[in-house]
Structure 1
């Protein structure tokens, strides 16, 4: 599908109020680009998989928004401009010029590729499809990952922590549950380590195609992994599809608040003696996740760290 892309130039100090004006005009979402330095606290709370581009802060901000070809772009833009003129009466919003272009779904999917290059996690080489293997790229395992719009390249510390734990616990008998599977990277690592089967859950339908493509890219049979779309926390249908007392290893690389809510709903899916690997945890939330795991009936087996991120591995008796 082709989309009309609009790029509005404003001031960084006014980006929030301008974004609200766009929302009131019927625009459902905007991409905000500025170069305002992030605070230390904001950096700690970020959970991004690909490094963000930096730049010099010149006080400007750009708001990108998209309208499909069936929408009344003229009417919506007229409403936007009227609201911006009203804002200008009582606050500085900059030029608020709007440039128009055209884009396609494929453009959104491919733009991030310029930031993702091959790299190693210990003896595992992770390489996207658009880069070539070199003679110096020897590794114990080669992992071909193209996440597309799904989360999971392996670049983030939280994913790497999970990968290292999987290397410790996966056996040829392992049945794996990967909650919030995204690109499927953790499931594929487990399968390449010898696990016999994996089940991935996710809320995002994009994960289904990403997993299928990444399984194929790694020569892993599609039958080795099943996908379930749904929320394991509050959806009985999803819980039933995932099943009960089936899994030797469960991975959940999400965020601390979700892990706290998720823990009691994961435990029924685990076999006795099963291992739960939880990551996406800032060090200041480590104790909260450990407490939730214990409350759900698990024993803490190991806690590992990488920079300010934590991975809690727990066991079901």
Structure 2
């Protein structure tokens, strides 16, 4: 089936107004394009690891909608143009021009699957649930991904850096703290590697649901994970819930600008000799993060790079 795609050039301020207007006209399923970075809450249900860097937001946006190519759209387009002029009375709609193109019907929900297949990180295989396990992978540690739930794929460099360091430093029976646990991939890897229990924190409460869902997909008992919503940097109650001198391994796959202010409160959570594994660090922030970790009293024992990303591993002496 073919569709006509109509794209309105507008401003980011008017995107919601235009989307609502199109809905009132009976048009469903709009598409918005702009350079406004999505928040963590926005991406909680998305199949995503790290957000891409976007060009600067210049306040310009595009709102597109689709209509059956076999129908006459003269009247509906006339209504859209009239409503755009009405919107101009109370908001800046920008150019407000409408361009037309044609597209084939696409199964957007499932087509991404053809680009995601099983892959290995050292002795760990990460496999989508719809693929069979290869004979050569049967002796590896298996992490399964269900496309029906939120889950980082593990393909992002920062996640792979953390997984490799967990494989190197985590011991059977360890207590693990996953800071910025997201949808739980590092918590699940830790449990699969033999951790006795994982405690996770994240500022987004949706991540708690996703993490437990993903533990179930990977046949892990719910009792092996405890997860809290909050910001460890300044939430005293959360610091108390998480505990003091409790963890053999702390892993933080979060951005450098979060690791730096969080560094002073991390050592108190760690046992003597405990290991801190960090990533999410863009290469030009390496020195700044290293200095913050050392200023917190930890000894940096290893720095690894993959692409433009950095992992810093430190120990509490």
Residues 116-161 of structure 1 deviation map (CA, whole Å, 9 limit, x = unaligned): 4322223311112233324454452110134766462211000000
Structure 2: gaps (5+ residues): 21-29, 36-47, 53-59, 66-80, 101-106
* SS of residue in 2 equivalent to 1:311: strand
* SS of residue in 1 equivalent to 2:266: helix
| Cross-structure match for 1:70 | none
| Cross-structure match for 1:22 | 15
Kept after mapping to 1: 8 A contact 2:255/2:281: yes
CA distance in 1, matches of 2:17, 2:150: 29
Give 1:286-297 correspondences, 5 Å limit: 286-297=286-297
| Cross-structure match for 1:10 | 8
When the two chains are superposed, the root-mean-square deviation of aligned CA atoms in Å is 3.5
Number of equivalent positions: 263
Name whichever of 255-264 and 116-125 sits farther off.
116-125
CA distance in 1, matches of 2:264, 2:95: 50
CA distance in 2, matches of 1:51, 1:87: 29
Cα offset, 1:256, TM superposition: 0.6
2:93 is the counterpart of 1:95: no
Change (3 A) 1:34 1:228: closer
Kept after mapping to 2: 8 A contact 1:248/1:274: yes
CA distance in 2, matches of 1:82, 1:180: 44
CA distance in 2, matches of 1:286, 1:280: 10
Cα offset, 1:80, TM superposition: 6.0
CA distance in 2, matches of 1:262, 1:150: 26
| Cross-structure match for 1:40 | none
CA distance in 2, matches of 1:113, 1:230: 33
2:181 is the counterpart of 1:178: no
Kept after mapping to 1: 8 A contact 2:151/2:214: no
Kept after mapping to 2: 8 A contact 1:109/1:148: no
Residues 245-281 of structure 1 deviation map (CA, whole Å, 9 limit, x = unaligned): 1011000001010110111121211111111101001
Change (3 A) 1:257 1:109: farther
Residues 164-214 of structure 1 deviation map (CA, whole Å, 9 limit, x = unaligned): 000111112311000011121111111111111110111222222222122
* SS of residue in 1 equivalent to 2:98: coil
Give 1:71-220 correspondences, 5 Å limit: 82-84=86-88, 87=92, 92-95=95-98, 116-138=116-138, 140-146=140-146, 150=150, 152-220=152-220
Cα offset, 1:87, TM superposition: 4.6
CA distance in 2, matches of 1:147, 1:293: 36
| Cross-structure match for 1:225 | 225
Change (3 A) 1:129 1:209: farther
Kept after mapping to 1: 8 A contact 2:84/2:96: no
Kept after mapping to 1: 8 A contact 2:151/2:210: no
Structure 1: gaps (5+ residues): 1-6, 36-47, 53-59, 66-76, 98-106
Kept after mapping to 1: 8 A contact 2:149/2:213: no
